[in-house]
Copies of this chain bind each other. A is one copy, B any other.
């Protein structure tokens, strides 16, 4: 299948990183060529869905929400299972944080590719980052490279996975958002793993976000809880 190399689909979670990626994609491909997809996978922080819709509207691009009921059925992680509390520590058994949803980014990108396939969109953009990556193995560059191969072969589809944040620190991500004119949209984003708004300020995601803005010397436009 021949896809349009000028069109891009951004996996938009409604968070800081994917919003930065949206502005990166608009800068590179042009607003009219950018589409976004958001996954409703039973996440604890469901407020993300609303944030993604607002960010897309603010940026003037289309947003499609796709449901995934499978992760909830699989259960057992702190991001989709309400009975499990978000832990600060790495789980000794798996060596991974208990917010790790096995296969999450692989599934997101595979469904994004299926959506792109039907619309002949050749580029996927995702906010995964190897640095500051909270210990998620599905955010690494080699994982993304292998997945791009699997998607290209499995769908007979010349698809490219772009990861503009892959080697950026949180500080550099904040600076990139600023340089691309994406800072105002940050007021609409959501980061907190506990799904609180204003954010809890204490979960690993909140702490990481605060550090990024502090190190960049930029004020986070999203008001904090305290």
Contacts and interface: CB of A to CB of B under 8 A. Distances in A.
**Is chain A's binding surface mostly helix, strand, loop or mixed?**
helix
B111 A138 contact: no
Contacts of A103: 110-111, 113-114, 117, 151, 154-155
A32 interface: no
B69 A67 contact: yes
B73 A66 contact: yes
Given A154-B138, A155-B137, A156-B95, A70 B76 contact: no
Given A1-B95, A68-B70, A137-B156, A151 B106 contact: yes
A140 interface: yes
- Count the copies: 2
Contacts of A149: 146, 149-150
Nearest to A149: B146
Contacts of A117: 102-103
A131 interface: no
A160 to B, nearest CB: 15
B74 A115 contact: yes
Given A146-B147, A149-B149, 7 more contacts: A74-B114, A95-B156, A103-B117, A105-B154, A107-B107, A138-B153, A149-B150
Interface of A: 1, 66-71, 73-74, 76, 93-96, 101-103, 105-107, 110-111, 113-115, 117-118, 137-138, 140, 142-143, 146-147, 149-151, 153-157
21 contacts: A1-B93, A1-B95, A67-B69, A68-B69, A68-B70, A71-B114, A74-B118, A94-B156, A102-B117, A107-B111, A110-B110, A137-B155, A140-B153, A142-B153, A143-B150, A143-B154, A146-B146, A146-B147, A146-B150, A146-B153, A146-B154
